[in-house]
């Protein structure tokens, strides 16, 4: 099917890790374990929030929503990657690629602002404890979560429409394990300067702004702790804040490098390895950093397990 002088592409080849042919099964097992661990950890957090009344606070409301977002996020990319690792035909249809990109951008953008919302919640809890119940009342938390999804939806629809309205003629080989913007731009026939400008603007809005808000929140938290808390409290708070900032920096940093690179580097092998940080490893680290180390979560899990044992004993 011809469009002008260009042949319409009906499918793409996701090159992925084809250069590591001898490691395909090994990579499959590694990524499958990571995927299942991430999935189970996030599902555990959601169920724990659902069945533990003492966790029905703004902090865990955000964490439960964040876990749901992460489940959707990793399920958008990882299953196809796992399938391709064991398949000779590493293809994805044109519309399948468009749907994957739309979902990935929607969920990734929503996650960027969800991290900022979670940091804002902690900022209010520590820096303005007397106003916390007012500032973070239920309706405010719900609006913040809805806004995250709304921003993500707008970005996903806008960017995927702009990318897939381009004609592709150079090749149908995407040098990555999922459909992302930079490698697809490298395959476009037309001048992509407009798309690159839009990508830079959206990258600033979706990654740079929430990163600044997140860092600002944690900086104020650290400053407040230094002024008003004991040495023991400071040590615990610094440990928590530093671990949060490491995960945040890993997610925001790797994604910003990916989308702020010059066009000459689009489609290079480094992209796929950089993508692993925010698509595979960050979702694995998040539940352990944000939730599973918390005493409230540990105590809630112990309570549910003890109740389950008592119920089983009576049966």
Instruction: State residue 22's pLDDT score.
Output: 85
For the segment 9-30, the average pLDDT, to the nearest whole number, is 88
Place of tokens 């990524």: 31
Q: By the 8 A CB rule, do 100 and 178 touch?
A: yes
pLDDT band at 232 (very low <50, low <70, confident <90, very high): low
For the segment 61-72, the average pLDDT, to the nearest whole number, is 94
Instruction: State residue 234's pLDDT score.
Output: 66
| Closest C-alpha among 121, 96, 98 to residue 218 | 121
The proportion of the chain whose per-residue pLDDT surpasses 90, expressed as a percent, equals 47
Asked if pLDDT for residue 231 goes beyond 90, the answer is no
For the segment 230-255, the average pLDDT, to the nearest whole number, is 74
Instruction: State residue 299's pLDDT score.
Output: 82
Cα radius of gyration rounded to whole Å, the chain: 22
Two structure tokens written together for 149: 């999804």
| Sign of the CA dihedral running 144, 149, 155, 158 | negative
Quote the mean pLDDT of the chain.
86
Q: Residue 233, Cβ neighbours under 10 Å: how many?
A: 11
pLDDT band at 95 (very low <50, low <70, confident <90, very high): very high
Instruction: State residue 265's pLDDT score.
Output: 59
Q: What is the pLDDT of residues 146-187, one digit of tens each?
A: 999 999 999 999 999 999 998 888 788 888 899 999 889 888
- Cα–Cα distance list, 177 to 12, 15, 92, 271 (Å): 11, 6, 11, 10
pTM over 0.75: yes
Instruction: State residue 264's pLDDT score.
Output: 63
Asked if pLDDT for residue 2 goes beyond 70, the answer is no
Best-predicted range by mean pLDDT (1-5, 6-10, 109-113, 273-277): 109-113
For the segment 215-219, the average pLDDT, to the nearest whole number, is 90
Asked if pLDDT for residue 207 goes beyond 50, the answer is yes
Q: What is the pLDDT of residues 276-296, one digit of tens each?
A: 888 999 899 888 888 777 777
Instruction: State residue 315's pLDDT score.
Output: 60
Best-predicted range by mean pLDDT (102-111, 267-276, 286-295): 102-111
pLDDT band at 233 (very low <50, low <70, confident <90, very high): low
Asked if pLDDT for residue 118 goes beyond 80, the answer is yes
Instruction: State residue 3's pLDDT score.
Output: 45
Q: Which residues pair with 11 in a beta bridge?
A: 93
Instruction: State residue 210's pLDDT score.
Output: 93
- In the chain, the domains with their CATH numbers are 11-314 (1.20.1070.10)
């Amino acid at each position: 099917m011809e469009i002008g002088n260009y042949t319409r592409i009906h499918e793409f080849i996701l090159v992925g890790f084809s250069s590591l042919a001898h490691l395909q099964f090994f990579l499959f097992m590694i990524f499958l374990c990571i995927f299942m661990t991430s999935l189970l950890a996030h599902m555990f957090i959601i169920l724990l929030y659902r069945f533990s009344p003492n966790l029905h606070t703004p902090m865990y409301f955000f964490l439960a929503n964040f876990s749901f977002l992460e489940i959707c996020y990793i399920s958008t990319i990882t299953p196809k990657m796992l399938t391709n690792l064991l398949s000779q035909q590493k293809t994805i249809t044109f519309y399948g690629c468009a749907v994957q990109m739309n979902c990935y951008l929607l969920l990734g953008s929503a996650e960027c602002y969800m991290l900022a919302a979670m940091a804002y919640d902690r900022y209010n809890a520590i820096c303005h404890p007397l106003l916390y119940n007012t500032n973070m009342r239920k309706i405010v938390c719900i609006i913040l979560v809805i806004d995250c999804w709304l921003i993500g939806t707008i970005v996903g629809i806008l960017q995927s429409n702009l990318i897939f309205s381009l004609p592709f003629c150079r090749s149908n080989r995407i040098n990555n394990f999922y459909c992302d913007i930079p490698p697809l731009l490298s395959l476009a026939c037309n001048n992509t300067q407009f798309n690159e400008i839009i990508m830079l603007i959206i990258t600033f809005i979706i990654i740079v702004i929430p990163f600044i808000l997140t860092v600002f929140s944690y900086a104020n938290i650290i400053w407040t702790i230094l002024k008003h808390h004991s040495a023991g409290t400071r040590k615990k708070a610094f440990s928590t804040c530093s671990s949060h900032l490491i995960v945040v920096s890993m997610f925001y940093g790797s994604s910003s490098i990916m989308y702020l690179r010059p066009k000459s580097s689009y489609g290079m092998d480094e992209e796929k390895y950089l993508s692993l940080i925010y698509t595979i490893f960050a979702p694995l680290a998040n539940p352990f950093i944000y939730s599973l180390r918390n005493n409230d979560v540990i105590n809630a899990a112990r309570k549910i397990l003890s109740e389950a044992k008592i119920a089983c004993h009576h049966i």
